[in-house]
């Protein structure tokens, strides 16, 4: 059952088209990874989902309700963590958490304390003194102490250290176990790979690829390292890339659909050693951006 | 060893001077401007000694003494008048300049980690503090010199060179002293907010203590450094000792700051940082509660300010007759009419000033919504179960109530002080009614901001130009004899000027209706548009 459905969403800021016919679907009980470089339109999409921006065209439904018109009703069941957490400098973290939980409705005091302990946050400090990571912790604690049905998380770990990242992942897995859904926008591909059931890749305002990780893997290449008795000639084969002679042997990448042919071919030369690494999301991601200009910076994209 | 502590102070001083190469000159120009425009204006307004004596008589009341300090009222020359009415107030602002300058380059730079980077270079541990102090000294000397020579250059008879020099140095010494106070608090407190907060608190306490003791028991006022400024008796006896005392005290403060800095760790303080609240109070847990909490300090300060403003106007009511007697220029600003008393003629002009000043806090309150949007903090609320109408409604409610309270407090202040000094008393209803007549006009201004936030959010700050226009046209309109329509462009120009004009409901109802329409349209716009990202 689909919990969130975006159909043909277009968002324009004046003449600039930020989102161009985006289609997305998040099903009940799944974790959906939303990946793309800065300025691709991740945050813009999420802000439309939350009814903070108004769609120029297209339909956005959450829980079967319209994201713009029924925003308040929808938000009672949504927990959101923005990418850039700006807090009020003269309130304490504890005060902000309480305020956020209260504004969404519902209350879970024991969960709050547990999470504050887990994330190792001092709630008595003013937000002014918090680092980026600590501000993110405040938003995460507020989000996970509420009983939501859908969690919308916009690059929630960009300021967290690896230890806290792990705790964050535990929290996500826990809500998944409870049958909740998560929309996770991220830069950190290993995280998306570990957590997500399905991913959508956005680039320049369009979804260029979406599906389960297994579905997408056919688009990727496998990294191979072989040592053979006789020198191998790979030149005539299709789908072989980045051939390189190394001390350990011959290193190359092979398209997933040509894997069978490649192995058959190599086996004729007397294989001494064969190492392969599975296609990672990293490769998948990089392949989609090959040839395009490099992503500008590593911060969270606030681009319109 | 000692040399190592201050290594590269010279380099850092040049660096800080460059960082402040715009800010310090702006402060100096602003402060000097207000010092230099006043004496020529006094020459124009109070031509003869007789007029000046009338002014002296008006000033001879406790409220005025509390506000501007004692003056040489027996020999009220233009110079004595300037020193009496201007010097203390300007000195307070000069002190503020010193506080902000020092805080900016001590605790604020330290808090943001810039001092750490500087410390990692081959510079002395006390170099940055002393570079800041040297910058402060330069700024103080510049302030003193520009004002001293500027005042002398005006060529006014009663403003001799010695007096002008003392006037300038009094200002410079105040900057130095309160800069020194901030330098000490920068060591004691562990945040820049604390440093500025404590230093400004000292400035205010010094002012208030001086105000109370000047009125009650003048000898005690020696305790307040700000009283030393008035005790210099500039342009009358020219007493240098209090100012030398001030400079000496500043040096002591600098030494204390250096000592404290040398015995503490970077980024630590001596005053304990008290932990904040672990839980939000029930009050905070709503959009309205949050909005109110964010503006709390500002609202309270404005409320006190409005009451004091009203009271200080009211305190001159007792001597108003003698003040206006024979002063043609001021008389021109009032609508001459012999049937009503001078106080009643004076009230409409006061009300314009009061109501326009009282409009500033409610506009700030509603503008806060836009400010929060620009900082990207509305997303937190709108991303939860808070509707846009609820959110804007919270800010509007605060703004509307705020305006009502500000106007009321000013009116109550005016009445209470006025009734106390006038022999025949003052009718509360008349004063309060005259003030409240401006409330619908104030609502129109708030309505315009709501409308702009709804439709042209980027233009929201243009409201201040409109406030300024209203002030200029209506306050000075009488003096320049503007044609009537120029005043009618402002909503404040449509308010019946009770008690001299007959009070009519018509314009007030129209203004209120206009305000409501603007607000409704603004809500519709806010509900339809995108929220900006930070």
What ipTM was estimated for this complex? 0.77
Cα–Cα nearest to B177, from B237, B244, B260, B105: B244
pLDDT confidence of residue A238: 81
| Interface contact flag, B285 A102, Cβ < 8 Å | yes
For chain B, residues with pLDDT lower than 50 are none
Let me know how many helices (H) and strands (E) chain B has, helices first.
26, 0
Helix residue spans in B84-160 (DSSP H): 88-105, 107-111, 114-119, 127-153
* pLDDT tens track for A154-169: 999 888 898 999 999 9
Domain borders along chain B are 2-262, 286-528
Q: Given phi > 0 = left and psi -120 to 50 = alpha, else beta, which region is B381?
A: alpha
User: Cα B128 vs. chain centroid, distance in angstroms?
Assistant: 30
Give the one of B275, B384, B534 whose C-beta lies nearest to A104's C-beta: B384
| Interface contact flag, A100 B384, Cβ < 8 Å | yes
Interchain CB contact of A118 with B (< 8 Å): no
**Burial category of B50 from C-beta neighbours within 10 Å (exposed 0-12, middle 13-18, buried 19 and up):** exposed
Chain A residues inside the 8 Å CB shell of B277: 92, 94-95, 124
Give the one of B276, B385, B534 whose C-beta lies nearest to A124's C-beta: B276
Which residue spans within chain A are E strands per DSSP?
A: 2-13, 16-27, 31-35, 57-62, 65-66, 78-81, 150-154, 181-186, 198-203, 206-212, 221-228, 240-245, 250-255, 271-277
What phi and psi, each to the nearest 5 degrees, are found at residue B121? -85, 165
Chain A residues inside the 8 Å CB shell of B290: 88, 99
* pLDDT tens track for A173-184: 999 999 999 999
Task: Set out the domains of chain A in order of their start, with CATH numbers.
Answer: 2-214 (3.40.50.300), 221-278 (3.30.70)
Closest chain A residue by Cα to residue B372: A88
DSSP state of B384: T
* pLDDT tens track for B241-269: 999 999 999 999 999 999 999 998 888 88
User: Cα B377 vs. chain centroid, distance in angstroms?
Assistant: 28
Indicate the Cα dihedral angle B166, B169, B171, B176, nearest 10°.
Answer: -150
pLDDT confidence of residue A299: 41
How distant, in Å, are the alpha carbons of A32, B123, B127, B128 from that of B119?
47, 6, 9, 8
What phi and psi, each to the nearest 5 degrees, are found at residue A24? -150, 150
Interface test with B, best of A65, A66, A74, A98 (most B CBs within 10 A): A98
**Burial category of B315 from C-beta neighbours within 10 Å (exposed 0-12, middle 13-18, buried 19 and up):** buried
Q: Three-state SS across A178-221? A: CCCEEEEEECCHHHHHHHCCEEEEEECCEEEEEEEHHHHHCCCE
Burial B398-434 (b: 16+ CB within 10 A, else e): bbbebbbbbbbbbbbbbbbbbbbbbeeebeeeebbeb
Q: Chain B neighbours among A 168-207 (CB < 8 Å)?
A: none
Provide mean pLDDT across the span A62-89: 91
Pull the structure tokens for residue B39: 């004496």
* pLDDT tens track for A16-36: 999 999 999 999 999 999 988
- Whole-angstrom distance, CA of residue A244 vs CA of residue B320: 98
pLDDT confidence of residue A290: 64
Pull the structure tokens for residue B269: 């303080």
| Interface contact flag, B285 A75, Cβ < 8 Å | no
Q: What is the edge-to-edge ordering of all strands in the sheet holding A240-245? A: A240-245, A250-255, A221-228, A271-277
Chain A residues inside the 8 Å CB shell of B394: none
Pull the structure tokens for residue B316: 């001159």
Q: Chain B neighbours among A 20-79 (CB < 8 Å)?
A: 43, 47, 50-54, 71-73, 75-76, 78
Per-residue pLDDT at A302 exceeds 50:
no
Percent of chain A with pLDDT over 90: 47
| Interface contact flag, A52 B531, Cβ < 8 Å | yes
| Interface contact flag, B276 A92, Cβ < 8 Å | yes
pLDDT confidence of residue B426: 82
Chain A residues inside the 8 Å CB shell of B285: 98-99, 102-103
Question: Which residues are CB-neighbours of A201 under 8 A, at least 6 positions away?
Answer: A35, A36, A207, A208, A209, A210, A284, A285, A288
pLDDT confidence of residue B488: 84
Cα–Cα nearest to B12, from B98, B113, B160, B114: B114
Closest chain B residue by Cα to residue A152: B383
Chain A residues inside the 8 Å CB shell of B533: 43, 47, 302, 304
Pull the structure tokens for residue A283: 């490769």
| Interface contact flag, B385 A103, Cβ < 8 Å | yes
Contact between B478 and B443 under an 8 Å Cβ cutoff? The reply is no
Using pLDDT thresholds of 50, 70 and 90, give the confidence band for residue A300.
very low
Percent of chain A with pLDDT over 70: 89
Give the one of B277, B279, B533 whose C-beta lies nearest to A302's C-beta: B533
| Interface contact flag, B534 A84, Cβ < 8 Å | yes
* pLDDT tens track for B121-160: 888 889 999 999 999 999 999 999 999 999 999 999 899 9
Give the one of A47, A80, A95 whose C-beta lies nearest to B280's C-beta: A95
Output the DSSP codes for B207-226.
Answer: HHHHHHHHHH-GGGGGGSHH
Contact between B319 and B326 under an 8 Å Cβ cutoff? The reply is no
Chain A residues inside the 8 Å CB shell of B534: 84, 86, 302
| Interface contact flag, B381 A53, Cβ < 8 Å | no
Q: What is the edge-to-edge ordering of all strands in the sheet holding A206-212? A: A78-81, A150-154, A181-186, A31-35, A198-203, A206-212
Contact between A250 and A290 under an 8 Å Cβ cutoff? The reply is no
Chain B residues inside the 8 Å CB shell of A76: 385
- Range with lowest mean pLDDT among A43-47, A250-254, B356-360, B456-460: A250-254
| Interface contact flag, A84 B386, Cβ < 8 Å | no
């Amino acid at each position: 059952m689909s919990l969130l459905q975006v159909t043909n969403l277009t968002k324009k800021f004046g003449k600039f088209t930020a989102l161009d016919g985006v289609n997305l679907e998040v099903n009940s009980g799944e974790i959906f990874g939303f990946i793309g470089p800065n300025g691709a339109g991740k945050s813009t999409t999420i802000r439309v989902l939350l009814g903070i921006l108004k769609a120029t065209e297209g339909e956005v439904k959450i829980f079967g309700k319209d994201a713009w018109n029924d925003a308040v009703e929808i938000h009672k069941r949504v927990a959101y963590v923005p990418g850039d957490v700006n807090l009020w400098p003269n309130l304490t973290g504890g005060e902000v958490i309480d305020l956020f939980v209260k504004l969404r409705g519902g209350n879970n005091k024991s969960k709050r304390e547990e999470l504050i302990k887990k994330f190792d946050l001092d709630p008595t400090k003013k937000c002014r003194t918090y680092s980026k990571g600590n501000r993110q912790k405040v938003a995460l604690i507020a989000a996970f102490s509420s009983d939501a049905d859908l969690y919308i998380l916009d690059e929630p770990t960009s300021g967290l250290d690896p230890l806290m990242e792990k705790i964050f992942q535990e929290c996500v897995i826990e809500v998944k176990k409870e049958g909740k859904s998560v929309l996770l926008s991220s830069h950190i591909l290993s995280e998306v790979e570990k957590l997500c059931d399905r991913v959508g890749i956005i680039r320049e305002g369009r979804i260029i690829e979406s599906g389960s990780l297994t579905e997408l893997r056919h688009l990727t290449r496998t990294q191979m390292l072989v040592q053979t008795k006789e020198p191998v000639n790979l030149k005539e084969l299709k789908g072989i890339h980045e051939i390189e002679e190394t001390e350990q042997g011959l290193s190359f990448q092979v398209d997933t659909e040509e894997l069978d042919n490649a192995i058959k071919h190599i086996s004729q030369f007397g294989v001494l050693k064969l190492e392969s690494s599975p296609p990672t999301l990293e490769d998948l991601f990089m392949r989609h951006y090959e040839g395009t200009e490099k992503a500008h910076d590593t911060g969270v994209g606030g681009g319109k | 060893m000692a040399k190592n502590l201050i290594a590269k102070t010279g380099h850092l001083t040049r660096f800080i001077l460059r960082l402040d190469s715009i800010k310090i000159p702006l402060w100096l120009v602003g402060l000097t401007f207000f010092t230099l425009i006043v004496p020529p204006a006094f020459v124009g307004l109070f031509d003869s000694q007789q007029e000046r004596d009338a002014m002296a008589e008006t000033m001879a009341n406790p409220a005025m003494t509390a506000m501007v300090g004692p003056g040489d009222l027996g020999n009220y020359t233009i110079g004595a008048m300037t020193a009496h009415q201007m010097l203390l107030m300007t000195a307070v602002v000069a002190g503020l300049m010193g506080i902000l300058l020092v805080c900016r380059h001590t605790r604020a730079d330290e808090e943001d980690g810039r001092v750490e980077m500087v410390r990692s270079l081959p510079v002395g541990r006390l170099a940055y503090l002393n570079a800041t102090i040297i910058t402060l000294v330069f700024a103080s000397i510049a302030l003193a010199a520009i004002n001293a020579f500027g005042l002398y250059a005006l060529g006014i008879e009663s403003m001799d060179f010695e007096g002008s020099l003392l006037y300038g140095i009094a200002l410079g010494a105040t900057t130095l002293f309160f800069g020194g106070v901030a330098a000490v608090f920068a060591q004691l407190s562990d945040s820049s907010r604390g440093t500025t907060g404590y230093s400004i608190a000292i400035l205010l306490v010094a002012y208030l203590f001086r105000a109370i003791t000047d009125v009650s028991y003048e000898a005690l006022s020696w305790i307040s450094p700000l009283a030393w400024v008035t005790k210099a008796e500039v342009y009358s006896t020219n007493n240098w000792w209090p100012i030398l005392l001030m400079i000496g005290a500043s040096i002591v403060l600098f030494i204390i700051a250096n000592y404290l800095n040398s015995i503490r760790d970077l980024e630590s303080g001596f005053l304990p940082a008290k932990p904040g609240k672990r839980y939000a109070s029930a009050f905070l847990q709503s959009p309205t509660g949050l909005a109110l909490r964010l503006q709390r300090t500002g609202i309270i300060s404005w409320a006190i300010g409005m009451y004091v403003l009203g009271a200080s106007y009211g305190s001159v009511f007792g001597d108003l007759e003698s003040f206006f007697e024979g002063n043609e220029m001021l008389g021109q600003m009032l609508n001459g009419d012999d049937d009503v008393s001078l106080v009643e003629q004076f009230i409409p002009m006061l009300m314009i000033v009061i109501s326009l000043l009282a409009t500033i806090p409610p506009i700030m309150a509603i503008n806060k919504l836009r400010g929060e949007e620009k900082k990207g903090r509305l997303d937190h609320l709108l991303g939860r179960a808070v509707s846009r109408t609820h959110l804007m409604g919270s800010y509007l409610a605060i703004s509307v109530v705020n305006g009502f309270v500000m106007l009321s407090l000013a009116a109550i202040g005016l009445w209470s002080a006025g009734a106390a000094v006038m022999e025949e008393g003052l009718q509360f209803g008349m004063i309060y009614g005259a003030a409240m007549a401006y409330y619908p006009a104030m609502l129109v201004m708030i309505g315009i901001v709501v409308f702009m936030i709804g439709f042209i959010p980027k233009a929201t700050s243009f409201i201040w130009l409109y406030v300024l226009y209203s002030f200029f046209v209506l306050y000075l309109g009488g003096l320049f004899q503007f044609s009537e329509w120029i005043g009618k462009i402002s909503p404040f120009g449509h308010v019946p000027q009770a008690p001299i004009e007959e009070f009519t409901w018509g314009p007030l109802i129209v203004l209120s209706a206009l305000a409501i329409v603007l607000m409704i349209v603004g809500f519709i716009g806010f509900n339809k548009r995108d929220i900006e990202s930070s």
